[in-house]
Amino acid sequence: MGRALDELRGSLYNDLCTSEGAKRQQQRYCGPLVALTFNFLVAVGIIMGNKLVMGKVGFNFPIFLTLIHYAFAWVILAIFKAFSLLPISPPSKTTPFSSLFALGAVMSFSTGLANISLKHNSVGFYQMAKIAVTPTIALAEFIISNKRVSLHKVLALAVVSLGVAVATVTDLEFNIFGACIAVAWIMPSAINKILWSNLQQRGNWTALALMWKTTPVTIFFLLALMPWLDPPGVLSFRWDVNNFSAILVSAILGFLLQLSGALALGATSAISHVVLGQFKTIVIMLGGYIIFNSDPGMVSIIGALAALCGMSIYTSLSLHESKDSASTKQVVYDPKLKTILEGEVQTESPKTHDPV
């Protein structure tokens, strides 16, 4: 009985009190499908929330709004930490502080510049800029880790990019400042997704633990960016009950978006997360056409359908590669084949014969 209790206690400790166990729990309850669906739903919701804040409420301070989102997220994470609900972080020696600092800094530029781009450009031009993120991620991953993308997936991504471009070509409104911001946003966005994905998949980081470590750095850089990129007048904004409630809802959705995005990047790849973002835009456009009788034009509809076909093919290829990778790992760690895979072929010792 005592031995069984010790084994149960050890099992619970490994599952709840170690970074490896916390990561296993995240992978068990939040697989790729759950993570991507969660991220998709929250992303659609925050579009509505930010449109309310930036439009009807008139809170035209995108960097400050981003700062509110991350400050709110840090408060929520601090409450989790106080009640011991925050997953444990891996040992500091496994992940250098420079990596966490770089991720926090890049995240501030990625999110802040994205909100400024949305303010000064149309959704169509914003999506055009997002198309450039996909090849940027593929090139960066090839340079950093020699990771190659198969020809079939490249063709599928080309169909997705072309379809999104055709679907949004009728909504290309921008100014010089907005275009420069959109171009400057591409590289931080790509690096942000790569770092989030790599730290979770190659280390024992969970989404919440990584958010807890990087959010203070992000807040620091957003404070530095706000005087340069936000318009003046933030101190004169009217904080009544309605305006405060709208910004609070936006902050809650911002925390959920950050969490769902981290979960999605931990369960999939950086490129898959970009494809999900393009899928969101196409679904919103087609939904408006089907439900609200909007008329984007036949060319845009054809482009949207082509993008959906490309996304379906890319998803199918990714799932097939994941299954192949899982089966390969099972073979590699098969104890019966261990000596063969390590190149240690055992041979029988030569028999000795007694001299006649």
Instruction: Give the integer Cα–Cα distance in Å for 264 and 275.
Output: 12
Determine the pLDDT at residue 235: 82
3-state helix, strand, coil in the chain (%, to 5): 80, 0, 20
Instruction: Give the integer Cα–Cα distance in Å for 116 and 64.
Output: 11
Per-residue pLDDT of the chain (356 residues; tens, 9 = 90+): 555 544 444 454 444 456 666 777 776 777 777 888 888 888 878 877 777 787 778 888 889 999 999 999 999 999 999 988 888 888 766 788 888 999 999 999 988 888 888 777 776 677 667 777 777 877 777 776 667 767 777 777 777 777 777 766 666 666 788 788 888 888 888 888 888 888 887 777 888 889 999 999 999 999 999 988 888 888 888 888 888 998 999 999 999 988 888 888 877 767 776 777 777 667 766 665 665 566 667 777 777 778 778 777 776 777 666 666 555 544 444 444 344 334 444 444 444 444 43
CB 129 within 8 A of CB 186: yes
- Helices 270-291, 123-131: axis angle to 10 degrees equals 150
Q: How many residues does the chain have?
A: 356
0.75 exceeded by the pTM?
Answer: no
CB 179 within 8 A of CB 121: yes
Instruction: Give the integer Cα–Cα distance in Å for 288 and 79.
Output: 39
Taking phi over 0 as left and psi of -120 to 50 as alpha, with beta for the rest, 297 belongs to left
Instruction: Give the integer Cα–Cα distance in Å for 281 and 298.
Output: 17
> φ, ψ for residue 174 (rounded to 5)?
-160, 165
Instruction: Give the integer Cα–Cα distance in Å for 137 and 132.
Output: 9
H/E run at residue 64: helix 62-82
Instruction: Give the integer Cα–Cα distance in Å for 217 and 350.
Output: 65
CB 324 within 8 A of CB 186: no
Determine the pLDDT at residue 71: 95
**DSSP string covering 155-192, please?**
HHHHHHHHHHHHHHTT-----HHHHHHHHHHHHHHHHH
* 163 token code pair: 């379809």
Strands (E), 136-283: none
Give residue 329's identity as a one-letter amino acid code: K
Determine the pLDDT at residue 308: 75
Contacts of 303 (CB under 8 A, 6+ apart): 162, 163, 164, 165, 166, 167, 168, 169
Give residue 347's identity as a one-letter amino acid code: T
Determine the pLDDT at residue 147: 72
